[in-house]
Chains A and B, each alone.
Chain A
Amino acid sequence: MTARLLALALALPPLGLAGGCASALPVEPPPLVDMEEPLELFAEPDDEAARRALPLGGFTGAHVGDARDSLDALLGEAEGVEVVRVVENSAADAAGLVPGDLLVEARAGDAPAVPLRHPSEWRALERDAAPGSSIAVVVDRAGVRFGAELDVVARVRPAGRGEVERLREEDRVGVVVRTATEVEAHAAGLGPGGGAVIVGLSKRSPWRAAGLRHGDLLVEVDGRAVAHPQVVLDAIRAGEDELDVVYVRDGQRAETVAALSDRERTVREVYVPGLFSRERSRDRTTTSAVLGIFKKEHTPAASRYRILWIFRFGTGDTDRLEEVDG
């Protein structure tokens, strides 16, 4: 009897240690599940003919791209749009712009200067500028800033069709948005590349309760124009409890206050050395009692019971379907 007690005493600490060595705590929450992404919204609408029929607007010869693909953006300090091409003999060429320059700020005519962060803001400015007018820009070239004046001429043919980006947020709202097409953006008063169309929503997304639906075009979030779908994601990440959202549905502008959710918290594991332990993850629950005399494992597809360490039985789904009446 004494020997058995000694053996048990020696065995207990290792058992306790084994139970105490839990896996490292996750730093980030897992992605939200149950995202609904209708297939009909997967591809962008075929509206090329309508796009070519849009007013052409002004032209300066500066083709700009996103400056967010940069270390500055990763540090949250990005500003400006990057000149990616300069048309020969254009106003931008005459003003001395070269690829790689950043356009930080622009002012059309007598209007106040606006900071530039997304290409759609520059393209809206250029499109709306009247031929014969000028746009004053602040240029950043390798950290040195200077001003330049671009004379606007009439655009003679449509610009190329922009690329569509799909961005996913699965931490607080559970939403997938894509870039609006130029036709959709124009109808909402945004520049080409602006606007974000909801193409995916989590089943339990708080935005459903706010009345937002698949296909809605988001044009303003918390007072900021959606000049790029990233603006929506940035607002969601930075928001506290809720966001003011302005959207367009069937050509009608509407507003709503959309909540941002906090994660549900659940007890994942309980551990009492030697007596009881319970560990739960999304698809598995394991319960053990009295040094493992009783142990139960449960998943959505199967269960397993173990009693007195040696008796074990399991149950679960089979590989056959049940007969369906009718």
Chain B
Amino acid sequence: MTAALGLLPGLLPSLLLGTGAGTGAPPAEPRVSFVQVDPALGCVGDAVLADVDGDGGRDLVLATGECDDAEGPPPVRRLRVHLRRAGTPAFAARPDRQLDLVADVVAWAVADVQPAPGSELVLLSASRAVAVWWEADADEPRYAALCPTRLLWQPADRDRAFAWQAGVRDVDGDGLDDLLLPEPDGYRVALQRRGPDGVSFESTVLRPPPAPLEEEERTAARFAARGDELRPSFVPDRGQLRFLVEVHDRVPAPRLVDWDGDGDLDLVALSGRRLLVWLQDGGAFDAGAPRVLELPDRRARLLNPSYSVQLADLDGDDRADVLLASSRTDGDDVTSTLEVYLQAAGDGFLERAADKLRLQGFVDLPELADVDGDGRPDLAVGSLRPDLIGQLASGGSSTVDMQLSVFRGLFEPGEGRFQRPVALAHKLRLPGDFGGEGWDVVYSFFRDVDGDGRRDLLLRTEADRVVVRSTDERGRGLQVGDVLWELAVAEDARAALVEHPDGPALLVREETQIVHVEFP
């Protein structure tokens, strides 16, 4: 039983609380905080939760900048620090610290890179990383150069600077924040060192080897002179043409995972259908050629909407395993395949899929999480019927149905599979533009909210609300249960889950406010 309060989308998100299904006791109420920004001073940009003042609590650092539909000169790009305080709301509306960004700042992050208590702001320009912090009772910030870089994103956006918090990790496990900075031709891993002379960074640039383009992706541009202009024509190439120049238009996104199970984080990047792995050995990366692992060939990868590669330790041997999703179209029929490749001891890897799951339609948003609480990762995946997508494209429908399926993981070291039949099947009705800008999360089995041991489901299936529903036992399977909690949001809000050792928090970013939700 839930009761709706008055909803004012975009202005006052309202809460609904239901009973905790299956437990008899209502779940504890989440702690919700709002931080509003005067629109005259700019609109809300990226936000990061980190301990800035060193008191152990996560403070809110928020970027403001140009509003999307604003006229006139852009407002000052600014970072606002809202320190956490006891009670509710967790953050005061007035920022404790503010920093106006100079023109060449491209991105920012929050990391503990100075001996001063807490974390510092890290500003990234095209050529360097700089730490900014405030001494107690000082109004003026202090600056310190951290390391040079040739950042992938060279020009600064005059409207806003974005957060590159994914680039802050303790890579070498020494308890100090390190920096991972993508560059045009590789990744700079800057490891923090502290000694009597202060803080320094040891940089290693890991460069992917030149990648041969896949046959189906090769296209040659021919130029022909017609009158006084050159006209290009594009022809597919089957390997007969010899290229003078090859241009890559993207740098593979880096991920830090423990690839070989030795306790060190290794750097993994997906380039084409190759996985590039740079192994770390006790705080040192080999800057030479990475280990290259060819993934199975899946035709037309760039045009394959289901294609994705997930890395996680599925079989509990501490080594990363691979979940590869792809789809095949045969006339009107679309079949998607999810293949599991387990990493065996030694070099035996990717020889043969340990498990192959076939689903009708396109698959999207695969998530590996321990849904049922048995300590082993399960697979949640959404599938879409292609005929419904066709209806959507032709204007016959404004919504699309997604089938959310959960398969229990039954893996042991070196072997295993996902259990059939499906443990949970639930239909989600989504607006046609789901997955676009602002839809950072559509569904996620993000955490156990009602305390029954199973992860509950956070959903944003409607533009103007975020819902948490319980996951309940149903016979030998699972089902999506009652609404545990609900938050009304602006239709153009971005909702994202923010990782933290205590469990993910929810950050909803609207044009002039941030909503921070902490689940007990």
Please say whether chains A and B are actual partners in one complex.
yes
Binding site for B on A (CB under 8 A): 24-28, 69-75, 77, 100, 142-143
Extra contacts besides A27-B137, A72-B128, A142-B150 (13): CB < 8 Å: A24-B137, A27-B136, A70-B102, A70-B104, A70-B125, A71-B102, A71-B105, A71-B125, A72-B127, A73-B102, A77-B145, A142-B126, A142-B154
Name the interface residues of B126-146: CB closer than 8 Å to any CB of A. Answer: 126-128, 130, 135-140, 143-145
Q: Which residue of A27, A75, A100, A142 contacts B143 across the interface (Cβ within 8 Å)?
A: A75
| A residues less than 8 Å from B103 (CB atoms) | 69-70
CB distance from A103 to the nearest CB of B (A): 16
Of all chain A residues, the one with the shortest Cβ separation from B141 is A74
A-contact bits for B149-183, CB 8 A (1 contact / 0 none): 01000110000000000000000000000000000
| A residues less than 8 Å from B128 (CB atoms) | 71-72
Name the interface residues of B102-130: CB closer than 8 Å to any CB of A. Answer: 102-105, 123, 125-128, 130
| A residues less than 8 Å from B135 (CB atoms) | 27
The reply to whether A24 and B126 form a contact with Cβ atoms under 8 Å apart is no
Q: How far does the alpha carbon of A77 sit from the alpha carbon of B105 in the complex, in Å?
A: 15
Q: Which residue of A25, A71, A77 contacts B104 across the interface (Cβ within 8 Å)?
A: A71
CB distance from A76 to the nearest CB of B (A): 9
Q: How far does the alpha carbon of A142 sit from the alpha carbon of B126 in the complex, in Å?
A: 7
Interface residue tally on B, bucketed by range? 20 to 34
The reply to whether A100 and B155 form a contact with Cβ atoms under 8 Å apart is yes
| A residues less than 8 Å from B104 (CB atoms) | 69-72
Q: How far does the alpha carbon of A72 sit from the alpha carbon of B104 in the complex, in Å?
A: 9
CB distance from B69 to the nearest CB of A (A): 26
CB distance from B335 to the nearest CB of A (A): 47
| A residues less than 8 Å from B144 (CB atoms) | 75
Of all chain B residues, the one with the shortest Cβ separation from A26 is B137
Can you list 11 pairs linking A and B with CB atoms under 8 Å apart?
A: A26-B137, A28-B140, A71-B102, A71-B104, A71-B105, A71-B123, A71-B143, A72-B127, A72-B128, A142-B126, A143-B150
| A residues less than 8 Å from B138 (CB atoms) | 27-28
Of all chain B residues, the one with the shortest Cβ separation from A68 is B102
With contacts A100-B155, A142-B154 taken as known, whether A74 is within 8 angstroms of B130 at the C-beta atoms is yes
| A residues less than 8 Å from B105 (CB atoms) | 71
CB distance from A160 to the nearest CB of B (A): 16
CB distance from A60 to the nearest CB of B (A): 23
Q: How far does the alpha carbon of A70 sit from the alpha carbon of B140 in the complex, in Å?
A: 16
Q: How far does the alpha carbon of A48 sit from the alpha carbon of B103 in the complex, in Å?
A: 30
Q: Which residue of A24, A27, A75 contacts B130 across the interface (Cβ within 8 Å)?
A: A75
Of all chain B residues, the one with the shortest Cβ separation from A28 is B138
Q: Which of B104, B126, B154 neighbours the largest number of chain A CB atoms within 10 Å of its CB?
A: B104
| B residues less than 8 Å from A28 (CB atoms) | 138-140
Q: Which residue of A25, A26, A69, A143 contacts B102 across the interface (Cβ within 8 Å)?
A: A69
| B residues less than 8 Å from A143 (CB atoms) | 127, 150
| A residues less than 8 Å from B145 (CB atoms) | 75, 77
| B residues less than 8 Å from A142 (CB atoms) | 126-127, 150, 154
Q: Which 8 A-B residue pairs are closest in the complex by CB-CB distance?
A: A69-B103, A27-B138, A70-B104, A74-B143, A71-B130, A71-B125, A69-B102, A24-B137
CB distance from B367 to the nearest CB of A (A): 38
CB distance from A237 to the nearest CB of B (A): 12
Q: How far does the alpha carbon of A120 sit from the alpha carbon of B144 in the complex, in Å?
A: 29
